[in-house]
């Protein structure tokens, strides 16, 4: 299972074919109560899956790769 990565430690790599954005990741945003969103880094900004910049990117503290689905059967 993936672990949360502090944004201050590192950000997702720009790996998409255009070289300007990362793969989709989970983003933790908030101070006390964390909200979890899907999003990615585009150039130097956090954007949601609709390509809109987050209104409070300063509250994004952690991210992790999207976990792979698994089956128990």
Give the pLDDT confidence score for residue 70 in this predicted structure. 64
Per-residue pLDDT tens over the stretch 5-51: 999 999 999 987 777 999 999 999 987 778 999 999 998 899 999 99
Query: pTM score, two decimals?
Result: 0.82
CB 26 within 8 A of CB 12: no
How far apart CA 66 and CA 25 sit, in angstroms, is 5
Q: Quick one: tokens of 57?
A: 């990117």
**30: region left, alpha or beta (phi > 0 left; psi from -120 to 50 alpha):** left
Residues 6+ away with beta carbon under 8 Å from 14: 20, 21, 22, 41, 43
Give the pLDDT confidence score for residue 31 in this predicted structure. 76
Give the residue extent of every domain in the chain: 5-65
């Amino acid at each position: 299972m993936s672990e949360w990565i502090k944004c201050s430690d590192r950000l997702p790599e720009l790996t998409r074919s255009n070289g300007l954005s990362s793969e989709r990741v989970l983003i933790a945003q908030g101070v006390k109560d964390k909200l979890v969103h899907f999003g990615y880094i585009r150039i130097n900004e956090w954007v949601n899956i609709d390509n809109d910049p987050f209104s409070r990117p300063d509250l994004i503290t952690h991210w992790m790769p999207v976990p792979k689905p698994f089956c128990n059967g």
